[in-house]
Amino acid sequence: MTYGTLTEAEARDLRLLAGIMIPASSAHGVPGANDELIFADILQSLERDTADARIALKHLAGLAGSAFADLVPERRTEVAMRFKQEGGAPLFSLNRVVLLCYYRDDRVMRALGQEPRSPFPKGHVVEQGDWSLLDPVKKRPPMWRRA
């Protein structure tokens, strides 16, 4: 299945928007969503959401009055915040792709204390826990109705 690709202008707007959604943080030691590697992942991962992304970016350009990327930074932030309120389902789809690429980046995962790896084959350890917590429930009489 083919989903199409963004135009250069759309991609430029999206990259700046992604950087507003999730900016880099030196305090947390993480890149922003406009980071080169992360943004390349975003562009490759739009897939089923490409149509929604284009609708959202058209809406954004409309709010900007021209190319979003050509606005001065203060105005960009202002337009982005209005877009956040008005963007609806297409923006949610676009935001989802940004998040799913950002939160699988090795640097971001390490900063969250997560191992950047697939779950299989190593898996995880869940503590068995103290089953004596169930003792009060075990003392209860049968709760089910005979029928």
Partner 1 sequence: MHGKVDVLIIGSGASGAAVAWSLADTKMRILCLEQGDWVKPTDYPTNGRNWEARLFGDFAINPNRRARETDYPINNGTSPIQVVNFNGVGGSTIMYTAHYPRLHPSDFRVKTLDGVAADWPVDYATLEPFFAENDRMTGVAGLEGDPAYPHHVLPMPPLPLGKTGKCFGEAMNRLGWHWWPSDSAIATTEYDGRAPCINLGHCTPGCAQGAKASTDVTYWPHALRAGVELRTRARVREVTVGPDGLASGAIYYDADGQEHFQPAEMVIVACNGIGTPRLLLNSVSGRFPNGIANSSGLVGRNLMFHPFAHTYGYVDEPIDGNIGAQLSLWSQEFYETDRARGFVRGYTLQLHRGAGTIVDAIANTARGFLPWGEAHHDVYRTLFNRKLGLSAICEDLPEEHNRVTLDPVLKDSNGIPAPRIDYTLSDNTKKMISHGVARSKDILEAAGAKNIGGEAPMLNAGWHLMGTARMGTDPERSVVNEWGRSHDVKNLFVVDGSIWVTSGGVNPTSTIQALALYIADSIKQRLANATLFD
Residues that bind partner 1 (CB under 8 A): 1, 20-23, 25, 27-28, 30, 45, 47-48, 77, 80-81, 84, 92, 95-96, 99-104, 108-109, 112, 114, 116-131, 133-134, 136-138, 140-147
Closest approach of partner 1 to the CB of residue 141, in Å: 7
Q: Pick between residue 11 and residue 111 the one whose CB is nearest to partner 1.
A: 111
Q: Pick between residue 8 and residue 113 the one whose CB is nearest to partner 1.
A: 113
Other Cβ atoms within 10 Å of 69 Cβ, number: 17
Q: Pick between residue 72 and residue 123 the one whose CB is nearest to partner 1.
A: 123
CA nearest 13: which of 4, 1, 25, 21? 21
Q: Pick between residue 8 and residue 73 the one whose CB is nearest to partner 1.
A: 73
In sequence order, the 6+-apart residues with CB closer than 8 A to the CB of 78 are none
Residue 128 burial by Cβ neighbours in a 10 Å radius (0-12, 13-18, 19+)? exposed
Contact 3, 50 (CB under 8 A): yes
Other Cβ atoms within 10 Å of 54 Cβ, number: 19
